[in-house]
Structure formats: C-alpha cells, structure tokens
Amino acid sequence: MTMSIVHRATGIALYSGTLLLAWWLIACAAGPAAYANVQAFTGSWIGRLIVFGYTWALMHHLLSGVRHFVWDLGYGFKTADREWLTWAALIGGIVLTVLLWVIAYSMGVAR
C-alpha cells in the first residue's frame, strides 16, 4: 500500500526532472559554453545527488510500473505474489541504480 504512493512520488519527481533533461539537451545543442554550465551543475555534489536521485526514481518507477502491468494482465494478486512484486521493485530499483552508476563511473563520468 505504501509503495503505491512511492510510485506516484517518483512519477512527480521524474516529471520535474524532465526540466534537467531538456536543459541538458538544449545546452548540448547550443554550444560549449552552455554545455559547460550543465556539466558544472551535474559535477557539483548537489547536482550529482539530484541526478543520482533521478536515476533511482526512474528505475523504481520502471519496475513498479512493470508490476502494474503484471496486475493489469490479471496476475500477482495473491498476498505472497504482491509482497514479492513489491520487494522486487524496491530492491531491484536500488540494485539497478547502483549498477548504472558503477558503469557510469567506470566509463569516466567522474572526470
């Protein structure tokens, strides 16, 4: 039950986060100076925290959304199934987020 509001909260977070995505794309299209501003922001601790949070929100919302598809198709309504799906989305979201950032750092985002 609690996870329903988390799905909603991550959705709202992702909604606001599209501003960051649009800023990044526009800056990339605009030129080096604008892009440097984005990189300075995403490189700062607060910027990095926001992007990390955005990654988690996206991964959790994705898995939580897949859980809703399972329910839409009429499966997973037993108590044990519901519990399993919820934990899978919760733990899976965290695991995927950490995994993506390990890959990102290994590819040189930290520079």
Partner 1 sequence: MSGDNAHGAQKSSMRTPIGKVRKLGPAGSGTSDFWRQRITGVAMTLLILPTIVVIMMLLGRNQAAAAQILGSPLISLIMILFIIASAIHMKIGMQVVIEDYVQNEKLKLVTVMANNFFSIAVALAAIFAIFKMASGV
Judged by the rule CB under 8 A, the positions of this chain that interact with partner 1 are: 8, 11-12, 14-15, 18-19, 21-22, 25-29, 31-32, 34-36, 58, 62, 65-66, 68-69, 72, 100, 103-104, 107-109, 111
Nearer to partner 1, 29 or 80 (CB): 29
Closest separation in Å from C-beta 2 to partner 1: 17
d(CA 89, CA 59) in angstroms, rounded, equals: 9
Question: How many Å is the maximal CA-CA distance in the chain?
Answer: 55
Yes or no: say if 10 and 61 are a contact pair by the CB < 8 Å rule: yes
In whole angstroms, how far apart are CA 53 and each of 17, 38, 66, 77?
A: 10, 17, 20, 30
Nearer to partner 1, 80 or 110 (CB): 110
Nearer to partner 1, 10 or 86 (CB): 10
